[in-house]
Amino acid sequence: MRELFGLMKFGTRSALWAAVINSVVAIIKTAAYMITGNVAMFAEMMHSFGDAANQFFVFIGSALSKKEPTEKFPGGFGRLVNLVLLGAVLIVAVLAYETIVEGIHHISNATHSEDWFWLNIGVLGASALLEAAVLYKAMKEITEHLPKEQVKGFKLIPESYKHVKDAKPASKLVFLEDNVAVGGAVLAMLAIIVATYTPFHSATGYASIIIGVALVLVVGRIFMDNAAGALGVADVKMQARMGARILQHPHINDIQDLDVIKEGESLHVELKVEVDSNMTIKEADDIRNYIEKKIKESVKNVTDVIIEFDDDDDIDTWSSISPKDNQ
């Protein structure tokens, strides 16, 4: 148990922050829904509960994935965060379904009401601001590896969208979910205004359906990304970068194979290099140290590097298999 609590400090901060904020927001929205019975508020309530549960599991998973390898699990626990996220998306999928069903029901039974208008607007406006604060934190995590000048001020927003595909799984989930959360809160406010002051009283039902569909799209994206991560997906861009650095050594003649596999938030590297057959063990050991140093200098989250040596076969293998478009 002590080890478990010790690992919690390594969890993704944005996920923990998001879980706490969404729990508070969900409770507030629940109270507002029980008072007003507004279907758009119901959709937002379900969304916030889903986000809170999801992001809490993400925080736990990201923390446990930092556990050191054991004799029983020598490969480590890096992919645990992907498995946790696969389970977490089921929660959001169920809530998305309920949100869509409730929206359809409201469309067929829409009624005009001006009761509790400002309560609904106030709650949704406050939740949008709180969700925006969480989204900002996720943006900071996604761009933390970039130079400060590149993400200064409002530059942070476009840069976070540009680099989200390379973000850690937990940060990506928080980013995607809170984009939907902020957009959903704004959409729900607009729907309430339209339903209150125009004859289009079913606007909140349509808003509920749109929010539910947005959640389904997020679920689909997260599921595909983490299914690939759980199986072990190659980082092609990183392979190209590492290959170029490794070939800078004068005694490495070629690279037969180089795999950079994502293990949750970390990278596992395996490569086979070609060297002169007359090379001594000491020289080979120096090359091994050089390669490990170069890789870990350029990439912070590499957990292990496995290196094999082979005779030079006078065939330029790496230039024919390396992803040139990504170099």
Exposure pattern of 30-42 as b/e (b: 16+ CB <10 Å)? bebbeebebbbbb
Q: How confident is the model at residue 64 (pLDDT cuts 50, 70, 90)?
A: confident
Q: Mind listing the pLDDT tens digit for each residue in 240-290? A: 888 888 888 888 888 888 888 887 667 888 889 888 888 888 888 988 988
Give the count of alpha carbons within 13 A of 141, CB side only: 25
> Which of 100-114, 117-131, 292-306 has the weakest average pLDDT?
100-114
- Residues 170 and 142: beta-carbon distance below 8 Å: no
pLDDT of residue 112: 59
Which residue, 23, 25, 99, is CA-closest to 55? 23
Q: How far is CA 46 from the centre of its chain?
A: 21
Contacts of 111 (CB under 8 A, 6+ apart): 201
Distance CA 120, CA 33 (A): 8
Distance CA 235, CA 166 (A): 9
3-state SS, residue 308: strand
Which residue, 220, 130, 218, is CA-closest to 173? 218
Span 112-124, average pLDDT: 78
pLDDT of residue 6: 67
Q: How confident is the model at residue 327 (pLDDT cuts 50, 70, 90)?
A: very low
pLDDT of residue 325: 43
Q: Mind listing the pLDDT tens digit for each residue in 11-32? A: 777 778 888 888 988 899 899 8
More confident of the two residues 30 and 172: 30
- Residues 207 and 195: beta-carbon distance below 8 Å: no
Does the pLDDT value for residue 170 go beyond 80? no
Exposure pattern of 199-238 as b/e (b: 16+ CB <10 Å)? eebbbbbbbbbbbbebbbebbeebbebbeebbeebebeeb
- Output the CA torsion 188→193→194→195 (10° steps): 80
Please report where in the chains the tokens 């290196």 appear, as a residue.
307
Q: State residue 198 phi and psi, 5-degree precision.
A: -135, 170
pLDDT of residue 190: 92
pTM reported for the whole predicted model = 0.71
